[in-house]
A = this chain, B = another copy of it.
Amino acid sequence: MSKDKVTLVTQNENKIAELAPIFEEYDVPFETTNLQKHEIRSQSVGYVALEAAIRAFDTLKRPVVVDDTGLYIEHLNEFPGAYAAYVLETIGVEGILRLMEDATDRDARFDTSVGYCNGRISRYFIGTMYGDIAASATGKGGFGYDPIFIPENETRTYAELSLDEKIAISHRSQAFRKFLDWYVE
């Protein structure tokens, strides 16, 4: 039996390309909306995504899914954290590389939180990938910080992986799989 459709609050084509195969795998239909997500300032992506989902449901009155991703770089005291998207739009990956120029500790982590709300239930699900910040931007795939993030057990950046390879392992995929495992129950 096919599951109820959910509304994904995003217009990011790259993200949709990564998520469509996962939703298909779970046989869960989705649509997207250009509703602006309401973002609170918090370093917990879980809380950001949950609040955003609750607010999106209040507006749309149908089951919604909102994701939020943070990048936490150890050498930079976890900067850019939950403001990863904003930092990308302003100083970009070049800014991050400059801030990391002499850094020997290049440990970083991506967290994606998927928030869900249907008016009765609201929950969030987190996926995490540990890795390193590369010395320079490499690769043409993916989006965002992908050219400078080398996931653990890999020598290539996310941007050097094929779409299938990235979908198989990424922080975002993990978070959406956790949500979908729960949703199809």
Contacts and interface: CB of A to CB of B under 8 A. Distances in A.
A173 B83 CA distance: 28
A79 interface: yes
Q: How many copies does the complex hold?
A: 2
A88 to B, nearest CB: 10
Pick the most buried of A40, A91, A101: most chain B CB atoms within 10 A of its CB: A91
A145 to B, nearest CB: 16
A93 to B, nearest CB: 13
A77 B87 CA distance: 10
Given A38-B40, A39-B40, A91 B83 contact: no
Nearest to A90: B79
A182 interface: no
Interface string A76-92: 11111101001101110
